[in-house]
Structure 1
Amino acid sequence: MKKIGFLSFGHWADHPSYDTKTAGDTLLQSIDLAVAAEEIGMDGAYFRVHHFARQLASPFPLLSAIGAKTSKIEIGTGVIDMRYENPHYMVEDASAADLISGGRLQLGISRGSPEQVIDGWRHFGYEPDPGESDADMGRKKGQRFFELLKGEGFAKPNPNPMFPNPPGLLRLEPFSQGLRERIWWGSGSDATAIWAGKMGMNLQSSTLKFDESGKPFHIQQAEQIRLFKKAWKEAGHAREPRVSVSRSIFALVNDEDRYLFGREADRRDKVGFIENERRAIFGRSYAAEPDQLIRELAQDEAIKEADTLLLTIPNTLGVSYNIHVLSSILEHVAPGLGWR
């Protein structure tokens, strides 16, 4: 069995072919999509977080709304850029959203990814400490957020408070028991995957990774996951870790599918350069008739290593079509791979 969720970038634009022409369209359709995805048996509704872009950004209002409208589906992010966050305020937001959902949040966080603007986190009022990079700042904030989720008191109470305090140092409220075990680190390298394993965070690995060996993407990603699991075991964490990978997968079952995604059938891994010309490898898309998809996906080593698969979706095509995309995977592909 494998958990299967969707991952939405939450795009919108005033384009004739888009069902999401405004931010309101995207937010409301995201809620409807999560509700419908739960009804067809999907395991997770995950959303990207991008600032300064016509895409979903501040995640907690959306996650809370979905939590109030659903009852079973996991609700998550992939990923929150910690360079933009106040870890203390984020603990309050995340805990409130988790309590509204009944403990179903699965939060992917990371030190960040390439942005729409130059040093966007500066506009949010954040600067790295002397001698730090912005990546260092993001990891440090992520670690602080993770520590605060323990729910331990750290703040000295006012001797003359407005309301009576419990004894001892005070923690942030509300506190959501168990949320700390549902924090994932979005890793683009072997080193950060190992770091996440040592820390005790779950691992999210996307369709982009720094090219560290020249091997095919799925092989590099599988090796990254094994390094994470090894670091987790060596750190002696009591529970079993979770690992997710993301893929663009389309089962071509009707003429509309073939028209929209038939051109993806011959896609291969791509190599490019990001972040100061660092070489990165981008995983291929999958689009084929169901039987062919099953044969191709059976060779994907990273999917085999992961317990959770996040299917990236074309959210601009509307709720109905995206439910068709997801249903096609659940019905025609997942059983043939032993995922269902």
Structure 2
Amino acid sequence: MKKIGFLSFGHWTPSTQSQTRSAADTLLQSIDLAVAAEALGADGAYFRVHHFARQLASPFPLLAAVGARTSRIEIGTAVIDMRYENPLYMAEDAGAADIIASGRLQLGISRGSPEQVIDGWRHFGYAPADGETSGDMARRHAEVFYDVLRGEGFAEPNPNPMFPNPPGLLRLEPHAPGLRDRIWWGASSNATAIWAAKLGMNLQSSTLKDDETGEPFHVQQADQIRAYRAAFKAAGHARTPRVSVSRSIFAITSDLDRAYFGRSGEAGDKIGFIDADTRAIFGRGYAAEPDVLIEQLRTDEAITEADTLLLTVPNQLGVEYNAHVIEAILTQVAPALGWR
């Protein structure tokens, strides 16, 4: 059994070919797609965060709105770039959204990927400390955020407050019990996956990974997952961690599907550089008739290792079409693979 959700990057463009021509279109359709996905029996509605782009950027208003409109589906991010985040303010926003959603938030956080502008986090008022890289800064922000979610008091109360205080040191409010166990780290390298495991975070692994061995993407990703799980167990954490992978998967069941994606499943893995020093491998997408797709997916080692699969959706094609994409996987592919 696997949890199956969707992942939307939330693109919008003022083009007649797009169903999302404004930020309002993207935000409102994201809510509607989450509602539709819940009705179809999907398990998760996840959203990517990019700054300085015509994409989803500020996740917590959207997560809270989805939480208010749904009752069962998990609501999450994949991922929030921690280079841009004030971890204490983020903890307050996350706590409020999780309470609105009755404890259904699943927050993926990470060091982020190359953005639309140079060192965009500097415009948000953040800079690495002496001797730090921007990745180090992101992990430092993440550790502060993760720690404060414990809900323990740390701030000295004012002896003459405007309102009465509870006894002892004060914590951030609102506190969302259990949210700390629902934080995920988006790891591109084996080393950062192991770092997340030692802290006790869950693991998100996408369709991009550091090319560390030259093997096919899904093999390297499966090895990363196994290394993460071994490190989590060695760290002595009491709970069982969760692991998600994301994939572009399209079941071709109509002429429209074939027109959109009939050739997109033919390409294999790709190699590129996400910065001057990091060679990355980009995993293939899948698009085929359901019977062919089932056999192709059986050989994806990383999907087999993961307990959660996030289907990346082409949000600019609109809510109705994306609901069809999700439904086709849930009904015509997942049962044959034992995911349902």
- Check whether TM > 0.5: yes
Alignment-mate amino acid for residue 61 of structure 2 = P
Residues 274-306 of structure 1: CA distance to partner in whole angstroms, max 9, x if unpaired?
A: 122421000000000000000000000000110
- Runs of at least 4 residues off by over 3 Å: none
Q: Does 1:338 align with 2:338?
A: yes
Could you tell me which residue of structure 1 aligns to residue 175 of structure 2? 175
Could you tell me which residue of structure 2 aligns to residue 102 of structure 1? 102
Q: Does 1:316 align with 2:337?
A: no
Q: Does 1:6 align with 2:11?
A: no
* SS of residue paired to 1:169: coil
* Aligned-residue identity in percent: 72
Per the TM alignment, residue 265 of structure 1 is displaced from its structure 2 partner at its CA by 2.5
Per the TM alignment, residue 46 of structure 1 is displaced from its structure 2 partner at its CA by 0.1
Gaps spanning 5+ residues in structure 2: where? none
Correspondences of 1:1-340 after superposition (within 5 Å):
1-340=1-340
Residues 105-152 of structure 1: CA distance to partner in whole angstroms, max 9, x if unpaired?
A: 000001111111000000000111111111100000001100000000
Residues 209-237 of structure 1: CA distance to partner in whole angstroms, max 9, x if unpaired?
A: 00000000000000000000000000000
Per the TM alignment, residue 267 of structure 1 is displaced from its structure 2 partner at its CA by 1.3
Alignment-mate amino acid for residue 132 of structure 1 = E
The alignment's TM-score, normalised by the length of structure 1, stands at 1.00
* SS of residue paired to 2:262: helix
* SS of residue paired to 1:63: helix
Residues 34-58 of structure 1: CA distance to partner in whole angstroms, max 9, x if unpaired?
A: 0000000000000000000000001
CA–CA separation in structure 2 for the residues paired with 1:244 and 1:318: 25
Residues 236-257 of structure 1: CA distance to partner in whole angstroms, max 9, x if unpaired?
A: 0000000000000000000000
CA RMSD of aligned residues (A): 0.5
Alignment-mate amino acid for residue 285 of structure 1 = G
Count of aligned residue pairs for this structure pair: 340
* SS of residue paired to 1:266: coil
CA–CA separation in structure 2 for the residues paired with 1:148 and 1:278: 32
CA–CA separation in structure 2 for the residues paired with 1:118 and 1:326: 35
Contact 2:77 2:107 in 1 (8 A): yes
Contact 2:265 2:284 in 1 (8 A): no
CA–CA separation in structure 1 for the residues paired with 2:184 and 2:52: 24
CA–CA separation in structure 2 for the residues paired with 1:213 and 1:50: 29
Per the TM alignment, residue 92 of structure 1 is displaced from its structure 2 partner at its CA by 0.3
CA–CA separation in structure 2 for the residues paired with 1:130 and 1:189: 24
CA–CA separation in structure 2 for the residues paired with 1:302 and 1:12: 30
Alignment-mate amino acid for residue 42 of structure 2 = M
CA–CA separation in structure 2 for the residues paired with 1:165 and 1:273: 52
Residues 4-39 of structure 1: CA distance to partner in whole angstroms, max 9, x if unpaired?
A: 000000000011110000000000000000000000
Contact 2:106 2:182 in 1 (8 A): yes
Gaps spanning 5+ residues in structure 1: where? none
CA–CA separation in structure 1 for the residues paired with 2:166 and 2:335: 53
Per the TM alignment, residue 3 of structure 1 is displaced from its structure 2 partner at its CA by 0.1
The alignment's TM-score, normalised by the length of structure 2, stands at 1.00
Alignment-mate amino acid for residue 42 of structure 1 = A
CA–CA separation in structure 2 for the residues paired with 1:329 and 1:41: 11
* SS of residue paired to 2:264: helix
* SS of residue paired to 1:192: helix
CA–CA separation in structure 2 for the residues paired with 1:269 and 1:128: 33
* SS of residue paired to 1:244: strand
